[in-house]
Every structure is written in C-alpha cells, then in structure tokens.
A and B are shown apart, each in its own frame.
Chain A
Amino acid sequence: MNWVWFYRLGSPLWFYQTTTRWLPWLSLLAFMLLATGLVWGLGFAPQDAKQGNSFRIIYMHVPASFLALVGYFLMAAAGAIGLIWKMKLSYMVMKAAAPIGAALTFLALFTGAVWGKPTWGSYWVWDARITSMLILLFLYFGVLALQYAFHNEEASNKASAVLALVGTVNIPIIYKSVDWWYTLHQPSTIKLTSAPSMHPDMFQPLLVMILGFYCFYVVALCLFTRVEILRRERKTTWVGDLIGSSNNAVEGEK
C-alpha cells in the first residue's frame, strides 16, 4: 500500500503551495456560483404559494445551515486525525474550521429568525431545531475558546479535538429534530433518499447556492489554514525563503 499521499497531505508546505495555485480558480468558481444563485433565487424563482416572497430567504438559510453542520463534522474529523496520527496540518485545519463554522451557524440562526417573523409571527421560538442549532453555536465557541485556554499548544489542540468529537452527538439530533419532535420548523426540503419537495424552478437555484457555499467554504478554510501554517512554521527555512522571494519582488518593482 502506498501511503505517500497521506504523508504529503500532512505537509504544511505542500498544502501551502498547492492552495496558492488553486485558490484563485476556486474563488472565481465560488463567486460565480453565489452570484448566479442569488440573482436567480431572489429575482427569477417563482414565489411561494403560501409564504410569498419571504421564502426566498431559503437561498441563504439552507446553504448556511448545511455548511454549518458539514463544517462541524469536518472540524471533528480533523481533530480525530490529529489525536490519532499527531498530524500537524490536521490540527491547523481544525482550528481554521471553528471561526468559519461559528459564523455560518450565526448566519443560519439569523436568516432563520428573519424568516420566522413573517412566517410564524416570531423571531425566536425555543423549538427543537432552533435550540439544537444554538447549542451548535456554543460548541463552536467552546472549541474557539479552548484554543486560547492553555499556554501549551499541544494541550489546547487535544482539548479542542476532544470537545469537537464529543459535540458530534449534537449533529444527528439537529438533523432529526424536525422528525422526532413536534416543531414549528418545516421538515427538510432536500432528502438524500427521495426527490426534493420543491418545484424544480425553485430547487435549481437552491442547488446552485449550496454548491456555491461549498466552494466558498473550501476557499475560506484554505485561507484560514494558510494563516495558521505561517504562524506555526515561522521558524522553518521554507517560510524564510517565501519572505525572501517576496521581498526581492518588491525591491525589483522599485
């Protein structure tokens, strides 16, 4: 079995160089998908028979909630890989995923609140789905806070990873909350096992937005991870070479 790819994946230098090459293209793709999806969803999708135009919030709410959950799994998986194989890069990815996940969870809660007001008549209800999303936000905050709670980097990495892993219990609860409890929140529009309960004219822009959010998430995760890589690898020769070459470039311009 050839494990070279696995070791390469663990190399911060390899990650930094590869993302330098790919990030511009991925950013462009994310921008185009998000712009298309937003214009399509806000202006061209037909309005909902019951909810009118307020349903258009779905084009931001569903992708943000989706990536908040996927991002949590990714963060926990990165933490697990760090704990098991002591992979440096893995902990950096875990640390990078926390602020992005917190921001997306906040976005899901906010867009949910402004959707709830015209639909249910209230910005906030202590309902199973919404409360479990709030817990997700606190879990992200917990992982962020633990990063700064220890002087020892190794200790803070391990503590964050353990919290992230324990918190994954919450993910299936969020996912199933609309089926397990009687709740105001509508059941999932998209299911893996059946056709979406939505007209294709409404569903297609949503799919574009979800793809756009996925690309955006990867871009943001790479950008945050790159900062973390530079911070932790500052003493290495390749970072020194990187700075040297960029300084030469600036001097060359003068």
Chain B
Amino acid sequence: MKFQFQSIGHLLDMGGHGFYVWSAVIVTLIVIIGLIVRPLLQHRVVLNQIAQELAREKLRKKTTGEGN
C-alpha cells in the first residue's frame, strides 16, 4: 500500500476531479458532524428546561407552604 499522490497539490487536484471529490468530502463531514452536534445541543436545552420547571415547582410549593 502506498500513497497515491506525489504532493499535497496533486492530492487536492485529484487529477482534475478535485472539486467533485472534495465537495463530497466536505458535505459528508458537515452531515456527520451535524447529526452528532444537533442532538447534543437539544439534549442540553431539554435538560435546562426540565430543571427550570422543577425549580419553579419547588418555589411554588415553598411559597404556598409559607402561606399556610
């Protein structure tokens, strides 16, 4: 097994097909990273929302408790 290209320039050029090959690579990486990052961000947002709800609930119980 050997590296098929003489230089980085040749690797980027891909024998004239560089645009097609590298745009496929870039879009693939964007899709893969996007499908990992998006649920991770959503996960954090949902956890924060639930934590706020719980805190509000706690506060409400506390204030009504003092009212009695």
Contact = CB atoms under 8 A, between A and B. Distances in A.
A75 interface: no
Helix, strand, loop or mixed for chain B's interface? helix
Contacts of A239: 50
Residue among B19, B40, B50 with the highest chain A CB neighbour number at 10 A: B50
B20 A114 contact: yes
Nearest to B57: A240
B27 A107 contact: yes
26 contacts: A42-B21, A44-B1, A46-B4, A53-B18, A54-B20, A56-B14, A100-B35, A103-B31, A110-B24, A114-B19, A114-B20, A114-B21, A114-B24, A115-B20, A117-B20, A118-B17, A216-B35, A223-B39, A224-B39, A226-B39, A230-B47, A230-B50, A239-B50, A240-B54, A243-B50, A243-B51
B36 A220 contact: yes
A114 B23 contact: yes
A52 B15 contact: yes
Q: How many interface residues does chain A have, given as a range?
A: 35 or more
B3 A44 contact: yes
A53 B42 contact: no
Contact of A47 (B1, B4, B27, B53): B4
A246 to B, nearest CB: 7
